[in-house]
Structure 1
Amino acid sequence: MIAEQFGTLETLYPGRIDLGLGRAPGSDGATMQAMRRNAHAGVDDFPQLLNELRSYLADAEPQQRVKAVPGQGTHVPIWLLGSSGYSAQLAAKLGLPFAFAAQFAPGYLFEALRLYRDNFRPSEHLDKPHAMVGLPVMAAESDAMANYLATTAQQKF
């Protein structure tokens, strides 16, 4: 389903679509149970699920029985997302771009980027490491207004 959705977007907007994947379940336990999802699905099996998704976006293999339409052959670029060293190392191993969620783990930013760069293996996607960092930022006309706007997130915690 993901390959078909992103394949549709890539078909409509060629060269403008990226797919960011992380291994976190993206939900709390009660919501996952309501959706009848295994609490460990997508975490322990993430590398296998990633390879399966990549196969649906790649050119079809002659023996491939299930194909994503649209999606097959679109080669939508995949970024691995993470806030720990796991996704950094997997992205490095596979030669994929990596996006670090510093809003979740700011203290681990430099270590994760070091792991990614030190372990990077060139691939058909990238010849050198390519990383992005997500940071929480407040922008306003003044420091006072930015500080005021930041209190909303502070109150949430």
Structure 2
Amino acid sequence: MFGAGVVFGLLARWLGMPVLAGAGFAAGCALAAFATRPADLLTLVVSPPLVFLGSTVAVEFATALGGGPLLRGLAVGVLATLASTAPWLFFGTLLVVVICLARGLMTNVRELRDKLAGVRLFEKEENENPVRWDESPTVTQDRPRLHHGEVD
């Protein structure tokens, strides 16, 4: 996804076709969803927004190097690109979710839920028994009761 986002983002800037960046990212999302191992589908489903942001920053950094203040060019470029290609981000994320659901994402979710439930079964509750009825405080007869200022 990152590679497709950077390559197609640079091509879109150089050719003056902004739609190319979004379409390339969506194609990278589909390719990643088909090429990922079934055990890693859960991780893949949550990663498109972060990968999209990273590829956008990388493209804007590469194109802002030669012209004027770098920080201003990078900030303006990233915000403008994110605003103009946001629908492609949503489409790419939806595409990944749909493809991963068809490839067995729900199995991964069930396995994770079962692992988390299994971990909770073997943890000891901290507040399991906050009141101990069998441990009543007793004062021994041979030890005198101390005043609150004379505590050992």
TM value normalised by structure 2: 0.30
Name the one with the larger strand percent.
1
Higher helix share: 2
Higher relative contact order (CA 8 A, sep 6+): 2
TM-score by length of 1: 0.30
